[in-house]
Structures are given as C-alpha cells and as structure tokens.
Amino acid sequence: MKLVVIVPDGMADRPEDFAGRGTPLERAATPHMDAMVGEGLLGRVVTVPDSVPVGSDAANMAVLGVDPAANRVGRAALEAAGQGVELSDSELAFRANLVTLRDGKMEDYSAGAITTEEAKPLVEALAEALAPEGAKLHLGVSYRHLLVVDDAAGDLDGVTCTPPHDITGRPIAAHLPKGPGAERVGAIMERAKTVLAAHPANAERVKVARAPANALWLWGQGRRAALPGLWERFGLTGCVISAVDLVRGLGRSMGMDIITVDGATGDLDTNYAGKGDAAAKALAEYDLVFCHVEAPDEASHRGDEGSKIEAIEAVDQEVISRVRRRAEELAKSGEDVRVLVLPDHLTPLSIRTHAHGAVPFVLWGSGVEPSGAAGTGEGAAGESTTLIERGHELLGFALGRKQAG
C-alpha cells in the first residue's frame, strides 16, 4: 500500500464560532476533496492529547505515527534537523522569529511576512552581533530562523518562552522569558533589538510603510532530536515535501528524505502546484509521501478569513487534484494507493492560534469503504462514527495495518 498524506496546516476551525454560516473549510470550493469524501471515509482524529501543548511539532509528529506524549522534543531541535544543523550535546536550539513590536505589544509575529531575501541582511548582522554571547544564528525561511546557544551546564533548560503568534496584538511584558536562564535569553533579545533598530533595512521598511523587523523573539527551545524511524516502525520508505523547517526536521529525524520545491515559501504565496506535482511524482519512488502546506495556518494566525478560504481552495485545486489524478492512474495499473487529507490541528480564526480538539480527516483510495458522509468539513465529520482518539494511530489505520510493536 502506498499512501500520500496531505496536511493543510491549521485548516480546521470550531463550527460554533461561525453562527451557522459555515467554517472556512465548509464554505471553500473543494470539489476534489468533496469527491474523495463521497467515495471514501470521513472521520475525526485527536492529533494532540490534552497533556501536550498543542503545536505543529506535536501534531505533525502524531500524523506521522509517533506519540507526542512519549516523545517530547523541543520544536527548535526539529527545525535544526530540518536545516541540517547538527546540535552537539552541549547546545540548545531556539526558534528565532523576526517580529514587529510596537508600543509594548506584539504587532506582527512575522514582521510583515518578511521574505527570506529581505531577512538575510538582518540575520547576518544579528549573527555577527550575537556571536560574543555564545550564540549562533542560522538563516531560515521568511521570519523563521534558528538560534543555537552553548549551554553545557543546562542552565537554560528551565526557561519558559511564549510563541509570538499566541500573543498577537497583546502586551508582551507578561510573556517575556521566565524562569532559570531567563536573564541570559532576555539579554540576547535586547541585544538583537539594538542591532535591528540601527539597521538601514528597517529604516527603509518604515519609509515605505512596511512593518519593521525590530525584534528577535526566542521560543520553542530544545536539544538534539531522536525519533522512531519510519522504516523501523512500518518498513516503509518515505519523503517529506514542506517549506517549513520544523516539518522537514520531523521527517529527517524519522529517516525520511526531503524534497524541495522551487517557490515553496511556507506562506500564502507558496507554489501549490509545484507541491502537488512533486507529491504525485514521488509516488514512483516512495511508499509514504507527506505533503505539508502551511498557508491556511498562516491565514488563521493573521485572522484573515478570506485568505484562509483561498488557501484551502488552492490546496484542493492545485495539490489534491494532482495527487488524486496520479493515484487513480496507479490504481488502474493494479497498484494499491490511498490518500489521506487532514489538518494537523485546529487553528481557529477566533483566537488566531492553535487549539486542542478533534480535526476532520478524509481517507480515500484502494479498499476504502465509503462512509456515506454528506459533506466536507468539521460539521459533517462531527456526525461520523469514526473517531481516532490517539492521533498517532491514524497512520497505521490509513495504511490498513498497525505499526510494528
């Protein structure tokens, strides 16, 4: 059995937030997903248990068949793996966001959706300035970067940091680093603010009325990642298609290959068609193809309902359509192929951040019995009798078998 998993990140909302008018997923034009629902199984899955902070690290880990409650790895360590940055035993990695602060508030967690090209000179200046602090800054994608600090004594292991997208529009004072090591982490952030305030690239952004990248926000810290491999668990070869270092790192940590798509940005302007083509093509070489699209999540974090609907429609029209067409071709030649579509977690527009709860999934393809669902989305899935309460068991379910052990 070959399987393609398509993850429109954060695609799901809470129906009660929309007063009977339908969630973005329910209102989006999704003919290909609708056809899959009609011919396949619509169900629900709890990807992140209540005992685990909800985030893309834990949620995508579960979708890839690994229990996030038993494998607690800081997301920055996964992002390091995604960037190919090898962490030593003495090093701790932080996710480092370029953000916009104004009047003591988190105005924009993405510094105006800064591009990688725009971020590069800022990151280079910060890397030079932070080196004396025992910190190494690595360029990532857009606003998402990686800071690695030497911490052989483990002095920073107890520091508590807040994801910046959780506090958009809110005062930052109560959400600055806390606990053991907070003073050192705070000093790095303050040094970065000084460097960014003096950088001519930010002066130019202000001049043209664009959000300045005037702070570096540290969070998501973790040490070197080690996760159960896909081959060891299922005897499958696999690849990951994503523009997000976190998701690439999850794949690498499980022994999966990474496929890079030109124009894939991890944002609303990503190359949807390129991802769809890459996923369809990868079926020739791999047993499991994991295709992740960040755009719906970004729209939710920005509170942009229209863009979220557009992103969902683009995934359906440009990604799902291509994968489904290729799966149908392979099925006609006698191969067993299935396609699984689901968001990794809820990202309700009403709160602009991640939330616990069951999300809908669609399973379609060889040997899948139609469930008779009458629609695509959270409401229809809520009427399904199929509920997988341990999210890491979904992958084995989708493959028609349980993982080894």
Q: What pLDDT does residue 47 have?
A: 98
Q: Are residues 233 and 211 in the same domain?
A: no
Domain that holds residue 162: 82-222
- Over the stretch 263-308, which tens digit does the pLDDT of each residue have? 999 999 999 999 999 999 999 999 999 999 999 999 999 999 999 9
Q: pTM of the entire structure?
A: 0.84
**In the predicted structure, residue 404 carries a pLDDT above the cut 50:** no
Question: Shortest CA distance to 394 belongs to which of 332, 341, 319, 326?
Answer: 341
Which amino acid makes up residue 81?
A: A
For the segment 154-181, the average pLDDT, to the nearest whole number, is 93
**In the predicted structure, residue 152 carries a pLDDT above the cut 90:** no
Rg (CA), the chain: 21
Q: Are residues 333 and 366 in the same domain?
A: yes
Lowest mean pLDDT, pick from 200-209, 257-266, 395-404: 395-404
For 283-393, where are the alpha helices, taking DSSP H only?
295-301, 305-314, 321-332, 378-382
Q: Are residues 167 and 239 in the same domain?
A: no
Q: What is the CATH number of the domain that holds 289?
A: 3.40.720.10
Is the residue at 52 inside a domain? yes
Is the residue at 405 inside a domain? no
Percentage of residues in the chain with pLDDT exceeding 90? 88
- Whose tokens are 């078998």? That residue is 401
- Whose tokens are 């499991």? That residue is 288
Count CB-CB contacts under 10 A for residue 361.
Answer: 26
Q: What is the CATH number of the domain that holds 98?
A: 3.30.70
**In the predicted structure, residue 225 carries a pLDDT above the cut 80:** no
Q: What pLDDT does residue 375 have?
A: 85
Is the residue at 294 inside a domain? yes
**Last residue within a domain, chosen from 159, 193, 222:** 222
**In the predicted structure, residue 20 carries a pLDDT above the cut 90:** no
Angle between helices 31-39 and 321-332 (to 10 degrees): 40
- Over the stretch 347-362, which tens digit does the pLDDT of each residue have? 999 999 999 999 999 9
| Token pair for 314 | 């683009």
Q: What pLDDT does residue 73 have?
A: 83
Q: Are residues 281 and 374 in the same domain?
A: yes
- Over the stretch 374-388, which tens digit does the pLDDT of each residue have? 889 999 999 999 999
Q: Are residues 314 and 343 in the same domain?
A: yes
Q: Are residues 187 and 252 in the same domain?
A: no
Is the residue at 33 inside a domain? yes
Q: Are residues 140 and 47 in the same domain?
A: no
Tell me if 21 sits within 8 A of 212, measured CB to CB: no
> What is the C-alpha to C-alpha distance for residues 349 and 26, in angstroms, rounded to an integer?
14
Lowest mean pLDDT, pick from 118-122, 176-180, 400-404: 400-404
> What is the C-alpha to C-alpha distance for residues 145 and 119, in angstroms, rounded to an integer?
9
Q: Are residues 103 and 127 in the same domain?
A: yes
Question: Shortest CA distance to 218 belongs to which of 143, 151, 140, 162?
Answer: 162
- Over the stretch 26-65, which tens digit does the pLDDT of each residue have? 999 999 999 999 999 999 999 999 999 898 999 999 999 9
- 339 Cβ partners below 8 Å, 6+ apart? 3, 4, 6, 36, 320, 323, 324, 327, 362, 363, 364, 365
**Last residue within a domain, chosen from 222, 250, 277:** 222
Q: Are residues 65 and 94 in the same domain?
A: no
Lowest mean pLDDT, pick from 51-55, 145-149, 154-158, 315-319: 154-158
Q: What pLDDT does residue 402 have?
A: 64
- Over the stretch 297-330, which tens digit does the pLDDT of each residue have? 999 999 999 999 999 999 999 999 999 999 999 9
> What is the C-alpha to C-alpha distance for residues 296 and 86, in angstroms, rounded to an integer?
30
Q: What pLDDT does residue 403 have?
A: 55
Domain count of the fold of the chain: 2
Q: Give Cα separations from 132 to 189, 221, 232, 370 (angstroms).
A: 14, 20, 42, 61
3-state SS, 44-87, equals EECCCCCCCCCCHHHHHHHHCCCCCCCCCCCHHHHHHHHHCCCC
Is the residue at 404 inside a domain? no
Mean pLDDT for the chain?
A: 94
**Last residue within a domain, chosen from 175, 202, 222:** 222
Question: Shortest CA distance to 61 belongs to which of 223, 298, 230?
Answer: 230
Tell me if 225 sits within 8 A of 73, measured CB to CB: yes
- Whose tokens are 């979708």? That residue is 63
Q: Are residues 45 and 12 in the same domain?
A: yes
Question: Shortest CA distance to 218 belongs to which of 144, 158, 141, 142?
Answer: 144
3-state secondary structure of 167: helix
Q: Check residue 171 and report its DSSP letter.
A: B
Is the residue at 262 inside a domain? yes
- 27 Cβ partners below 8 Å, 6+ apart? 21, 309
**In the predicted structure, residue 405 carries a pLDDT above the cut 90:** no
Q: What pLDDT does residue 336 have?
A: 97
